[in-house]
Amino acid sequence: MRVDIYRRAEAQGRYSHLVVPEGRAIPQEAINTDWENELRGQDLDETAALWPQYGIAAPGRQLQEKGYAITGVERQTR
């Protein structure tokens, strides 16, 4: 699946990531002025159990249920 990836700085030099299908806007409930564009049109396997480079578990399920996938607090990346 082709996606657009955003990131947001967190405490202690960590980052959260938000992933949406390519070309789609960030859904209203996830809009945050802190999101920065990181990558556009990236190919990622939505059937993977985890996108470790983004700290996102069950990305396919998140995309299907919410329209976006987001880093869990316990998986924030450096």
Distance of CA 55 to the CA centre of its chain: 8
Give the burial class of 38: count Cβ atoms within 10 A of its Cβ; 0-12 exposed, 13-18 middle, 19 or more buried. Answer: middle
What is the helix (H) or strand (E) element at residue 15, kind and residue range?
strand 15-21
**Greatest mean pLDDT among 10-14, 24-28, 39-43:** 39-43
pLDDT digit string, tens, across residues 27-73? 888 887 789 999 999 999 999 999 999 999 999 999 999 999 999 87
